[in-house]
Amino acid sequence: MTKQQTVLVTGGAGYIGSHTIVELIENGYNCVIVDNLCNSSYESVARLEVLCKTHIPFYHVDLCDREPMERIFKENKIDSVIHFAGLKAVGESTEIPLKYYHNNILGTLVLLEMMQRYDVEKLVFSSSATVYGDATRFPDMIPIPEECPVGPTNPYGQTKLAIEKILADLYNSEKETWKFAILRYFNPIGAHPSGLIGEDPLGIPNNLLPYMAQVATGRREKLNVFGNDYDTRDGTPIRDYIHVVDLAKGHIAALKYLDARQTGKGICREWNLGSGKGSTVFEVYRAFCDAVGEEIPYVVTGRRAGDVINLTAKPDRAKQELKWQTELDVATACKDNWKWATENPFGYQLKGVKADFSTHEEQYDARFITIGADSKFQATVANLGATLVDLKVDGESVVLGHNCEAGYLTPDTCYAGATVGRYANRIAHGKFQLDGEKYQLTINNGVNCNHGGPGSFHAKRFLGPLVQNPSKGIFTAEFMLIDEDKETEFPGSLEVHVFYKLNVLTKSLEIEYTGKVSGKATPINMTNHTYFNLNKLLGKGTIEGTELQVATKKSVEVDKDTIPTGKIIERDIATFDEKPTVLGEKTPEYDYSFVTEEHSKDIDTRSKKLQLVTKATNPESKVTLEVLTTEPSFHVYTGDWLCAGFAPREGFAVEPGRYVDAINQPSWKDSVILKPNETYGSKIVYRFS
Ligand code: NAD
């Protein structure tokens, strides 16, 4: 591919669409998604961002709405379209046919009008084997070739056929222009092997695998097998099951086929996407039981109206022309489906997770996500800066934060709750030297560069989050960011992950950072910059009265420019075995780094024992905070210069991390230089009682 093409994926939040996006991005395409979420959730897109390590523009738009559809074409230079959006349940289509005709056909008409208006000529369309109807009505049409006469037997199939005809008519009107690939899918099953995306049916699943998964996880009692008296090897009907990852790859093959066509040579052609191998219901049942490792209860009931004995594809045309064929078998699909089902028993709909828009518009990459939302210990996180926006203990907030994203985007910042990086704390004069090269960062704090400089991690929208509920009372939210070489003035392309883990039962929030760099080595030091106020629940906007104890008095001595002198001194602050230091209205003032380990050289500290570094209590509110970390240093700041909507001493921060200005200190340098092929890692825990 010469230039990176942009593909508009309609219905991209859905089952097949989301899997196709993974393949598109792997094949170097950019994707834009339009979906009205009538049968899906934005969480699939948030997960795709983490899985594919890229931002995926998303439009919450109904294809039938001309105006917002036109906006998508205006705002993006679309090269081609893959059109998944549509209602797809055969049974439902017989109950509400008008809705099916309206949604599927009008949606396609609007899409085609926009394509015509904005000169987008290539479209891959999700059709279905349903258009063939009962191919067994012919004596010799199993396996089913594309030439098999069509004859859908339900409104859903009729809408697919009608769209195929619309495409053919449009092509016939301008044969030099239009390039249409009509893909007739057989039975998609399975899930992405990562276990992060899969089929998430709302209500009772229509398809065999999601249904069996719900029986296996105890959500449904037993599987109904509709008839075992067909004339097949075991009496149950035969279908052509195709792994959804294979199916997704079929779309790339079709798109490349269209891309390769010469200008002026249009096409409108159908291809079956199937394996060519039929499996009976009992064979799939067996494969699924093997994947689960136990027998799933089932009952044979009577035949279902409209079911036919055998629907197997003849996939030769796709093999010859698109150079595509299936590679994964039913057993693999069952295994992948089971991984998805066990790791996400409620699909994307997690109880105890709430998402709100943090902007006045519906901006999906700027949401506030609350984990543990049904409990009294909960955390709210945001894409901007992978920020900890709020933390509630016993139902009351104990941190400083804003209730909308705009609050964080003011010219001055105090980094409230933000992920600080690439380099937390000061770099003297914003200068460092690495691998023979000299670097000068923007000065943003006296004569120094602080917290990575302006526009650093705190001001960037992270990808994701990937939110999961791995066990009762545990919620995780993972954000990621790619900070390209020199994007924030630092060398090397850095990929970082910020992993929040909330434990409702132990009232603790763990934050884990990881980083990997490519191209060049980089200095790195990440932390979280939450300001705590344990008085907040008493309605007090000050930290006055908070009792503080720390692990050590040993602190980094700094000169008048807050640059380390190289000496470790003792500061007047209470350690755990002493009477706590009480924070008054104005004093004591702390903006100092303390060291629990003076000579750490570890770039990944995660395997170290978590060490308690600060304990803060408020005797009035009776809330106690403990800060633990695997890091060798922690910075205590009493918020004396708080700004950006907050008052001085409204909150205090404890920021575990590497040593201040370590990149310029010979004895500490190694702890902050991340080389390609190494992993940076650190952990912080906020624990409450
Ligand atoms: P899905 O329901 O998971 O995905 C379809 C997506 O389209 C959903 O995210 C839904 O919210 C969206 N959508 C529906 N109407 C829309 C509209 N008017 N505007 C914007 N978005 C809209 O279904 P899927 O299984 O991923 O199927 C994708 C396509 O493949 C569908 O067209 C379906 O008919 C076709 N297909 C599916 C199967 C199958 O068994 N899954 C088989 C053959 C064909």
**Residue 397 CA neighbour count, 13 Å, CB half:** 18
Ligand 1, CB within 6 Å, residue ranges: 11, 13-17, 35-40, 62-64, 84-88, 103, 107, 126, 128, 185, 188
Residue 2, pLDDT score? 55
pTM of the predicted protein model: 0.95
Tell me: pLDDT of 1 over 60: no
**Residue of 38, 44, 163 with the most ligand 1 atoms within 8 Å of its CB, for mutation:** 38
Which of 194-198, 322-326, 343-347, 533-537 comes out lowest in average pLDDT? 533-537
Q: How confident is the model at residue 28 (pLDDT cuts 50, 70, 90)?
A: very high
Residue 311, pLDDT score? 94
- 440 exposed, middle or buried (CB, 10 Å; 0-12, 13-18, 19+)? exposed
Give the C-alpha separation, 286 to 283, whole Å.
5
Q: How confident is the model at residue 664 (pLDDT cuts 50, 70, 90)?
A: very high
Residue 127, pLDDT score? 98
Residue 186: what residue type? Answer: F
Q: What residue's CA is closest to ligand 1, atom 44? A: 128
Do strands 238-239 and 367-371 pair parallel, antiparallel, or not at all (unpaired)? unpaired
Instruction: Name residue 681's beta-bridge partners.
Output: 514, 604
**Residue of 8, 9, 15, 59 with the most ligand 1 atoms within 8 Å of its CB, for mutation:** 15
Tell me: pLDDT of 259 over 50: yes
Residue 145, pLDDT score? 98
Residue 646, pLDDT score? 93
Give the C-alpha separation, 455 to 453, whole Å.
6
- Interval 667-671 mean pLDDT: 95
Question: Are 6-196+242-277+311-324 and 353-688 equal in CATH topology?
Answer: no
Ligand 1 nearest atom to the CA of residue 185, by list position: 43
What average pLDDT does the structure give for the chain? 95
Centre of ligand 1 to C-alpha 652, Å, is 50
**Residue of 18, 21, 39, 197 with the most ligand 1 atoms within 8 Å of its CB, for mutation:** 39
Which of 47-56, 225-234, 509-518, 530-539 comes out lowest in average pLDDT? 530-539
Ligand 1 nearest atom to the CA of residue 103, by list position: 18
- Interval 289-305 mean pLDDT: 94
Domain boundaries, the chain: 6-196+242-277+311-324, 353-688
Q: DSSP 3-state assignment of 397? A: strand
- Interval 323-350 mean pLDDT: 95
Ligand 1 nearest atom to the CA of residue 13, by list position: 9
- 330 exposed, middle or buried (CB, 10 Å; 0-12, 13-18, 19+)? buried
State phi, psi for 230 to the nearest 5 degrees.
-80, 160
**Residues 6+ positions from 659 with CB-CB distance below 8 Å:** 556, 564, 593, 595, 632, 633, 665, 668, 671, 672
Per-residue pLDDT tens over the stretch 400-440: 999 999 999 988 899 999 999 999 999 999 999 999 999 99
Q: What are the Cα distances from residue 392, in Å, to 290, 369, 519, 602?
A: 44, 13, 41, 33
Fold of 353-688: Beta-galactosidase; Chain A, domain 5 (2.70.98)
Dihedral, CA atoms, 213, 218, 221, 223, nearest 10 degrees? 10
**Residue of 8, 16, 110 with the most ligand 1 atoms within 8 Å of its CB, for mutation:** 16
Ligand 1 nearest atom to the CA of residue 200, by list position: 3
- The one catalytic residue among 102, 529, 599, 635: 529
Per-residue pLDDT tens over the stretch 211-222: 999 999 888 999
Q: How confident is the model at residue 360 (pLDDT cuts 50, 70, 90)?
A: confident
Residue 7, pLDDT score? 98
Tell me: pLDDT of 537 over 80: no
Is residue 496 within 8 A of residue 481, CB to CB? The reply is: yes
Residue 407: what residue type? Answer: G
Residue 305, pLDDT score? 80
Q: What residue's CA is closest to ligand 1, atom 1? A: 14
Per-residue pLDDT tens over the stretch 577-615: 999 999 999 999 999 999 999 999 999 999 999 999 999
Q: What residue's CA is closest to ligand 1, atom 22? A: 85
- Interval 42-59 mean pLDDT: 98
Per-residue pLDDT tens over the stretch 137-160: 999 999 999 999 999 999 999 999
Give the C-alpha separation, 226 to 206, whole Å.
13
Centre of ligand 1 to C-alpha 330, Å, is 22
Centre of ligand 1 to C-alpha 565, Å, is 63
Of 389, 337, 354, 408, which is closest to residue 531 (Cα–Cα)? 389
Q: How confident is the model at residue 542 (pLDDT cuts 50, 70, 90)?
A: very high
Q: How confident is the model at residue 39 (pLDDT cuts 50, 70, 90)?
A: very high
Residue 272, pLDDT score? 98
Residue 602, pLDDT score? 97
- Interval 188-193 mean pLDDT: 98
Q: What residue's CA is closest to ligand 1, atom 35? A: 126
Q: Is 243 designated active site?
A: no
User: Read out DSSP for 181-228?
Assistant: EEEEE-EEE---TTSSS----SSS--SHHHHHHHHHTTSSS-EEEE-S
Q: What residue's CA is closest to ligand 1, atom 4? A: 14
Give the C-alpha separation, 108 to 159, whole Å.
10
Residue 383, pLDDT score? 97
The neighbour count for residue 177, using CB atoms within 10 Å, is 15
Instruction: Name residue 688's beta-bridge partners.
Output: 625
Centre of ligand 1 to C-alpha 608, Å, is 47
| Percent of the chain at pLDDT exceeding 70 | 99
Centre of ligand 1 to C-alpha 30, Å, is 20
Ligand 1 nearest atom to the CA of residue 127, by list position: 44
Tell me: pLDDT of 33 over 50: yes
Domain 6-196+242-277+311-324 has CATH 3.40.50.720: yes
Dihedral, CA atoms, 643, 646, 648, 651, nearest 10 degrees? -120
Residue 441, pLDDT score? 97
Do strands 179-185 and 122-128 pair parallel, antiparallel, or not at all (unpaired)? parallel
Do strands 522-523 and 673-674 pair parallel, antiparallel, or not at all (unpaired)? antiparallel
Centre of ligand 1 to C-alpha 322, Å, is 23
Residue 535, pLDDT score? 85
Q: Which two tokens stand for residue 517?
A: 């760099």
Centre of ligand 1 to C-alpha 479, Å, is 28
Give the C-alpha separation, 336 to 243, whole Å.
9
Centre of ligand 1 to C-alpha 14, Å, is 6
Is residue 471 within 8 A of residue 500, CB to CB? The reply is: no
Q: What residue's CA is closest to ligand 1, atom 39? A: 188
Q: What residue's CA is closest to ligand 1, atom 21? A: 35
Residue 400, pLDDT score? 96
